[in-house]
Structure formats: C-alpha cells, structure tokens
Chain A
Amino acid sequence: MWSEDSILAHHNSGSLPVADIRDVFRDQVSEADIQRLLHGVMEQLGIARPRVEYPAHQATNIVGPQNIQGGAHEGLQHLGPYGNIPNIVAELTGDNIPKDFSQDHGYPDPPNPCPVGKTAADGCLDNVPDTAEFSREFQKQQHLFDPEHDYAALAKWNKELLYHKLKGGPKRSKRSVKNPYLMGQRLDNVVAKKSVPHYPDEEYTTTTLKTST
C-alpha cells in the first residue's frame, strides 16, 4: 500500500514503537501485521495518507474461538403466519450451548427457485410454488438421495468430518458439499440476532409463545 522508499526515508527520522516490532515479529508475521506496523509508524510520523481507512484501526488481538450470534440460535420469534409454530427458547444465561433442536436438523440445501427474470437455463428451478410444503418435500428428497449431505448431529461436526467431506471420499452427486466458503478460520457460535431473548419484566402477562406442541 505504501512505497518502500517512503518508509525507508522516514526510518531514521522518528522513534519507532519498539515494543510493537518485537510483538509482531515474535511469532509468525502475517501481511496484516506488517501493514498494521507500517501504519503505526506512518501515523506517528504524521505522514499517514488521508481518506483511506486501514484495518489497523480496528484490528485487535482476538484469539480463541469467535463467538458470533446470527444463526439458528435464538428463540422467541413469532413464527409462521399465525404464530402458532412452537418456539424453542434459547437461554441467554448459563453454558452458552444453544437449546435449539435445529442442531439435529442438519443443513440440507434449500431449493433454488428461479427469481423473476431467471429460467432453468440459469441453473434454478422453474415454477416453484412459494410454499412451506414444497421446501419441506424438496429437502426431504435431498435427504433420501444424499444422506451424507444432511449433517446430522452437527455437534459432532469436526475437522476430520469436514476434511472427509471436502476430499469427497466415494463419488458423490454434483450437489454435494463443495462449499469453499466453509474453509478457513471457523467462527464458533456465530449466530444471527434474529429475535429477542425473553426478559422477565417484559409487559407480557401470559406467555404468548408455546415451547412445546
């Protein structure tokens, strides 16, 4: 991002944050680390370029599993058109293990209906009815034809299994699990903030959401 010359030119003219350098080079040096370091130097010397934003401004030494919310891990939604669909309440307190049966659902791929302007030639499904029944049946079929695809008991999901799946093992259907986006750093407990946890002082007098059928 910066020319080497400009860095060298200023190398002798200011005091470098020595502690930072030691920290950075102690372990492995990633490109982001270098960028961060250089940026720190540029700023201390007052030659940082305007306008541009640097990751260094937000970077932190985050280690360990990432805890993100934003998936099927929260409860108390008003689900379905009549709100009569049972809701499993995820607990806010305690062990941080989601109390959600979707863990046992597995993750079949949903159908890919053609949006307005697309046809089967684009690789989607024509004339799909927009109904829960269709999606349910579609995903069930997928389950039948590709049992491995349905990641049952994802709690047991582990690197070996992922490796196995990605390496393919026996030849599988085209729709098997080659999702490159599942590679790289895995962020545990990433969940969607879909709904609100229940608060005891909420102005509800009765529970409006059932937790069992």
Chain B
Amino acid sequence: MMLDFLRYGTAVGLILLNAMVLATRATEEGIFTNHLLVQLHEGEHEKAHQLAKEHGYHSARKLPFGEGLFHFYPLETPQKRSKRSLRNRQRLEKDHRVKNVMVQEGFGRQKRGYRSISEIDIKMTDPLFSKQWYLINTGQADGTPGLDLNVAEAWELGYTGKGITIGIMDDGIDYLHPDLASNYNAEASYDFSSNDPYPYPRYTDDWFNSHGTRCAGEVSAAANNDICGVGVAYNSKVAGIRMLDQPFMTDIIEASSISHMPQVIDIYSASWGPTDDGKTVDGPRELTLQAMADGVNKGRGGKGSIYVWASGDGGSYDDCNCDGYASSMWTISINSAINDGRTALYDESCSSTLASTFSNGRKRNPEAGVATTDLYGNCTLRHSGTSAAAPEAAGVFALALEANPDLTWRDMQHLSVLTSKRNQLHDEVHQWRRNGVGLEFNHLFGYGVLDAGGMVKMAKEWKTVPERFHCVAGSLQEVHKIQSGENLLLTISTDSCQGKDNFVRYLEHVQAVVTVNGSRRGDLIVNMTSPMGTKSILLSRRPRDDDAKVGFDKWPFMTTHTWGEDPRGTWVLEVGFQGGKPQRGVLKEWTLMLHGTQSAPYIDQIVRDYQSKLAMSKKEELEEELDEAVERSLKSLLSKN
C-alpha cells in the first residue's frame, strides 16, 4: 500500500517537472501596451503617483529593481485609446521631472491548453452568433478577447448537449420561436401558473414575460438555422416550467417546479429567490426544501438533479448568503462577470457562490449584453442581469453531462471547482486568494469562470467522487454579547468526527448555523476561518437592512471556499458590527456542520494536464495520504513494541 503511494508520487513528480520545462516556451510577436516604464530624477513614490495622475495615467508603482524606476498604469478607457495615450506619453516625456520613458512591449505568454481565437474554426450561419461574445470572445464591444465560456473547444470535441434536457423555471417559453421549436421538450414542460402543460408566456403590453424565452435561447437555441444566435448546448432540449407569473408565489408552485419530472429533466435553471432589496433574509420553505433534497437524492436515476441558481442582483448592498436558495449546498450558485472581466454592478457576493459566467452590466454598448432569442420570434442583444448568467452555466453543465451522463450532482460541483478559471476576472474589492489546498477563489466569482472545454475533457474520464458524510463538528449554545468596536471571537476545535462512521476528511461544503440578532441586522458581519487558514466572509454589511428584531434564527451560512481542505483543527468565528452608529447584539448559537468525503476524491482521477488544479490537488492528496499512512504505521509499530 505504502509502496504504491511512493511509486505513484514520484512518477507524478517527474511528469510535472517535464511539463514545466515544456511550458516555459514563450510565443508571439510584439504589441505595444499602454504601460510605461518611467525613470524619474527623483525616486519619491508620492510624487511619481502625482505625476502619473497629471498626465492621464491611473497610477504609478515604484519598482524595486532600479533607481527612480516606476511602472505607470494606464487608465481603463478602452475607447480612442491609442491617440490619447500617444499624446499623454509625449507630454510626459517633455516633463522636466522625467528622465526616461519606455513603452512596454507586450509579448505572449501562452497558457497551456489555451488557444488563440484565430485557431478556433467554428462556422455558424446564425446572424447573432458573432455578437455572442460570451461564447467566443474576440473582443466584441470592447471586451477582453479569450474571456468566454470556451464552448468552442467543447463543441469541437463533439459535445453539444445531445440527450440532455434543461428546465427553465421562469415566466414561460415562446416555444413556437423558430430558433427554439425544434429543441423544445414539450413532454417535460408544464405551466404551473395556469395549471396546464403549455407554458406559453402571458402577453403584457410591456412584453415583460420575455425572460424565460431569453434564458431558453442561451441554453438551447438551434445552430446553423439563420435565426438569432446559438445556444451554449445547441443540441440540447429545453423544457419550459412556467411558475413566476401568477398573482403570488406559493410553496407548492416552487416545490412542484423544482421536482417536475426529475427523471427527464437533468438540469434546472432558476433566476428567482428572495427579493434583492438588501434587507431580506429568506429561503425555501418546507415543501421546497423537501423537494430539493429529494431532487439531489433521487433525481436523474439517483445521480441527483442539477440545480443552477442565479446568485442575485442586489449588488454590493446585498449578500447572497441571505438567500437560502443560492446558499443551499444543493444548488450551484452562479455569479456573473462582464465582457472585460469586471464585476457587474448588480453582482451580489457571498461565500456560497461556486463559479461565474457572463452577463452585461455597466457598459453602454448595447452589444455588451447577452444576445439570445426573444418573445414572439424575435431576437435580442440585451438580455441582462445575473439571471442571464445561470442559463449559461446550465448549458455548460449540459455539455458535461453529455460527455459523462454518470456525473452526480456532487461531481458537477467538483468539476466546477476544478475547471473554472480565474482567466482575466478582476474584482476591485476582494482579492483572489488560495485556500488551504491551493485552490484559487474569489469572494465574488467563486472559483472563477466556467470553462466548457476544460469541463467536458475532465468530465469524460471523471470517476464519481466517494461517498459524502455529514459531521456536526461542534455547537456553541451559550449567549454572547456583541457590540460595535470589538468583534466577538469564538472557536470550535474539532476532530471532524474522526473515529466515527461519519468522519469528514476532505471538505465539500461547510455551514455555520448561526442564531444572532442585533440592534441593526444590516450592520452585522460574520467571518469564519478554517483550521488551514482560509477566511470566508459569511456575511457582509447590508446597509439597507435595519431589522432589529428577527436577526438570524438558526441560519445556515454556507461557504465553498474551504473545498478540499482538512477540517480537523480549530475553526474561528468572528462576529461584529460595521457602520457608523454603535450597535449591540446577542449571539446565541454557532453550530459548525461539515460536509465532505472520508477518502480523497481526486486520488483516482486521471490527470491529463499537469498544471491543472486537478493535478495539484491530486498531488496534495497523495502527499497527505502518504503522510498519514506513515504516521499510522509508525504508531502501530510503536504500540507493538
């Protein structure tokens, strides 16, 4: 057993080394960037920054490797960039404080497994295809080339969603639409708003009920038919579940929708949830909860229904951990990035977000929106919001399911963690960080943007992850006072149920079930740090929430950031207030729930790309298993003697 590990470990190490040597090969011709290397007569950082500002640059960074050397960063104004930047540079060169200015030449650093856009050879006759930057981003609408779902690679491998049905839980689908009709699954569709099998949208003068049709097109619009654009999984079937268009929502409608034909519908896409007003804390009720649990336990022949959830449009004023649907372990909650890698202004952040796809936001250019089908046979370029992001993810998952129909709901989450890419996503507020096992994550984007090509390749050879266990790691029930200015710190030390049947060694989801209230709920903040040092922001400030009574009652805050970590050790919960006025509060409960596997989930997986997250995680697991095996045998040796 031990020998086996050893041999395996060395082999992996050798191959890794090889791969690294190969990968250092740089490529490509020079392009001139707007980044400048500037040498000044004086080396003061403050002055350099001032100078940069004066000349139309964003900032200056002092370079440690030379006297008076600074890196001048350009302002992010993509339009008319070249002319203005030339002028700026010429002015800068003449400035008396400046000794020398050098334009930085850009050179290619090819990422492995990454292909340039010109290599993609996909021809579609659909008129809007070239506007679908989220499928293939060539820089349309001032976007960042290459920042897309990488569907081209999946398509070229032959995966287009054949045999997979995606249910769109929304306001109906225009299933007569010529771009959708052939991919419409009538048998799996239903209208819960008017209780019949035909979820055709209700007409209003403002065409308000176009949302489901738009979402359906993103997933399943037919290809090469000269109509509108192309769906992410253009040979998949789409089912309409009309459930958002009645005088009020009921628990029965929600529960019925998410459990509609779970043996036929593979993936459910949802763009609804608690009101994004920044002051609501709400989640699924009894029937819906039961239906969700049933879905993951029994749907798709026991492999589990895939629930894709939009993380919400509440922007920085809201936190999707207050949305019990998005923060559920059974849903894959998806956030969005815009076509240049920034966050959309409506993006809601939370630690339960697993990955991201694309939508519009903050850009004036109408073509920066999401191109898809629209009501009554029309097309649109301007589908928007985080709810445009969820169907894209549903489409990518359909491609993965076609590549490997045996994937369970948990496999899909593992694949999302392992194949999502940081790409060129940037977040002004939250840094990208690595968790205890080296997986890179961001509070807003989760593990990054979905990569369809990477996902189908890994899905194809994926071996279903080991059984999942649930461990209550500890529960504090004493009453603790909290007040502004001093954060309450609590700790739970846990062995993660080691020695019991439900020992959790490799984490998937972690929940902190918290009962807390305060004089202003919106000013409460909650952070949790894992034994391996990963800090999750479980709740950030919600300035609009002035609740002073209800607080959070056994609310399960969920984090995906500690994925893969060893949960044994000390967990720290930090609770406090943020905001102008002094607040007081009481914490009554913190229960730590760990969910994950006993055996290493990646150890048996086949590694093709030795720089992938999978390769890294597998190596990590091999090392840890080896360590533990050595420790065990030492112990047994000692006890024998």
Chain A residues packing against B (C-beta within 8 Å): 19, 30, 32, 40, 43-44, 46-48, 50-55, 57-64, 66-74, 77-81, 83, 85-88, 92-93, 96, 102, 105, 107-118, 122-124, 128, 130-132, 135-136, 138-139, 151, 154, 157, 178-197, 199, 201-205, 208
The listed residue (B193, B362, B477, B595) touching A202 by CB distance below 8 A is B362
B581: chain A residues at CB < 8 Å are none
The listed residue (A57, A69, A115) touching B273 by CB distance below 8 A is A69
The listed residue (A57, A136, A139, A182) touching B250 by CB distance below 8 A is A182
Assuming the A-B contacts A58-B284, A83-B382, A112-B196, are A53 and B297 also in contact, with contact meaning beta carbons closer than 8 angstroms in the complex? yes
Q: Are B469 and A48 in contact (CB under 8 A)?
A: yes
Alpha-carbon distance A68/B256, docked complex (angstroms): 16
A88: chain B residues at CB < 8 Å are 206
The listed residue (A57, A62, A113) touching B200 by CB distance below 8 A is A113
A138: chain B residues at CB < 8 Å are 203
Least distance between B411 CB and chain A CB atoms (Å): 13
Q: Are B207 and A196 in contact (CB under 8 A)?
A: no
Q: Is B407 an interface residue when CB atoms closer than 8 A count as contact?
A: no
Alpha-carbon distance A63/B554, docked complex (angstroms): 12
A70: chain B residues at CB < 8 Å are 170, 244, 249, 270-273
The listed residue (A131, A157, A181, A196) touching B252 by CB distance below 8 A is A181
Q: Are B272 and A185 in contact (CB under 8 A)?
A: no
Least distance between B536 CB and chain A CB atoms (Å): 18
B497: chain A residues at CB < 8 Å are 46
Least distance between B366 CB and chain A CB atoms (Å): 8
A67: chain B residues at CB < 8 Å are 274-275, 277, 280, 282
Q: Is B219 an interface residue when CB atoms closer than 8 A count as contact?
A: no
B181: chain A residues at CB < 8 Å are 115-116
B550: chain A residues at CB < 8 Å are 64
Could you jot down 22 A-B contacts, CB within 8 Å?
A: A43-B470, A48-B470, A53-B330, A58-B289, A69-B313, A71-B249, A74-B313, A77-B211, A79-B206, A109-B194, A116-B175, A116-B181, A123-B196, A135-B201, A179-B192, A181-B250, A186-B249, A187-B250, A187-B285, A191-B275, A197-B313, A197-B315
Q: Are B500 and A46 in contact (CB under 8 A)?
A: yes
Q: Is B553 an interface residue when CB atoms closer than 8 A count as contact?
A: yes
Least distance between B261 CB and chain A CB atoms (Å): 15
A115: chain B residues at CB < 8 Å are 175-176, 181, 184, 186, 189, 198
Alpha-carbon distance A71/B248, docked complex (angstroms): 9
Say whether chain A's binding surface is mostly helix, strand, loop, or mixed: loop
Q: Is B344 an interface residue when CB atoms closer than 8 A count as contact?
A: yes
B501: chain A residues at CB < 8 Å are 46-48, 50
Q: Are B273 and A48 in contact (CB under 8 A)?
A: no
Q: Are A43 and B374 in contact (CB under 8 A)?
A: no
Alpha-carbon distance A183/B247, docked complex (angstroms): 12
Q: Are B254 and A191 in contact (CB under 8 A)?
A: no
Q: Are B277 and A92 in contact (CB under 8 A)?
A: yes
Question: Which 3 A/B pairs are nearest by Cβ-Cβ distance?
Answer: A70-B272, A190-B249, A46-B500
Alpha-carbon distance A130/B210, docked complex (angstroms): 13
CB neighbors of A among B565-595 (8 A): 593, 595
- Closest-by-CB residue of A relative to B203 is A135
Q: Is B264 an interface residue when CB atoms closer than 8 A count as contact?
A: no
Q: Are A110 and B184 in contact (CB under 8 A)?
A: no
- Closest-by-CB residue of B relative to A73 is B275
Q: Are B544 and A54 in contact (CB under 8 A)?
A: no
The listed residue (A92, A132, A189) touching B203 by CB distance below 8 A is A132
Q: Is B296 an interface residue when CB atoms closer than 8 A count as contact?
A: yes
CB neighbors of A among B274-333 (8 A): 274-278, 280, 282-287, 289-290, 292-293, 296-297, 310, 312-315, 317, 324, 328-330
A30: chain B residues at CB < 8 Å are 286
Least distance between A67 CB and chain B CB atoms (Å): 4
Q: Are B256 and A181 in contact (CB under 8 A)?
A: yes
Q: Are B203 and A110 in contact (CB under 8 A)?
A: yes
A124: chain B residues at CB < 8 Å are 197-198
Alpha-carbon distance A125/B423, docked complex (angstroms): 48
Q: Is B174 an interface residue when CB atoms closer than 8 A count as contact?
A: yes
The listed residue (B182, B203, B382) touching A116 by CB distance below 8 A is B182
Alpha-carbon distance A114/B176, docked complex (angstroms): 8
Chain B residues packing against A (C-beta within 8 Å): 170-172, 174-177, 181-182, 184, 186, 189, 191-198, 200-211, 244-254, 256, 270-278, 280, 282-287, 289-290, 292-293, 296-297, 310, 312-315, 317, 324, 328-330, 344-346, 361-364, 366, 369, 374-380, 382, 384-387, 467-472, 477, 497, 500-502, 511, 544, 550, 553-556, 593, 595
A60: chain B residues at CB < 8 Å are 283, 324, 553-556
Alpha-carbon distance A182/B194, docked complex (angstroms): 9
Q: Are A46 and B277 in contact (CB under 8 A)?
A: no
Q: Are B296 and A203 in contact (CB under 8 A)?
A: no
A194: chain B residues at CB < 8 Å are 171, 208, 211, 271, 385, 387
Q: Are A193 and B247 in contact (CB under 8 A)?
A: no
A157: chain B residues at CB < 8 Å are 247-248
Q: Are A192 and B329 in contact (CB under 8 A)?
A: no
- Closest-by-CB residue of B relative to A105 is B204
- Closest-by-CB residue of B relative to A100 is B208
Q: Are B477 and A19 in contact (CB under 8 A)?
A: yes
Q: Are B176 and A69 in contact (CB under 8 A)?
A: no
- Closest-by-CB residue of A relative to B196 is A112
Assuming the A-B contacts A92-B278, A107-B202, are A77 and B470 also in contact, with contact meaning beta carbons closer than 8 angstroms in the complex? no
A181: chain B residues at CB < 8 Å are 192-193, 195, 246, 250, 252-253, 256
Q: Are B328 and A72 in contact (CB under 8 A)?
A: no
Q: Are B296 and A79 in contact (CB under 8 A)?
A: no
Alpha-carbon distance A199/B287, docked complex (angstroms): 35
- Closest-by-CB residue of A relative to B344 is A196
Alpha-carbon distance A188/B274, docked complex (angstroms): 10
B182: chain A residues at CB < 8 Å are 116
Q: Are B471 and A193 in contact (CB under 8 A)?
A: no
Most B CB contacts (10 A, CB to CB) among A60, A102, A157, A179 go to: A60
- Closest-by-CB residue of B relative to A69 is B275
A186: chain B residues at CB < 8 Å are 248-250
Assuming the A-B contacts A55-B289, A58-B329, A186-B248, are A69 and B469 also in contact, with contact meaning beta carbons closer than 8 angstroms in the complex? no
Assuming the A-B contacts A55-B290, A197-B346, are A61 and B554 also in contact, with contact meaning beta carbons closer than 8 angstroms in the complex? yes
Q: Are A204 and B364 in contact (CB under 8 A)?
A: yes
Least distance between A17 CB and chain B CB atoms (Å): 8
Alpha-carbon distance A165/B205, docked complex (angstroms): 26
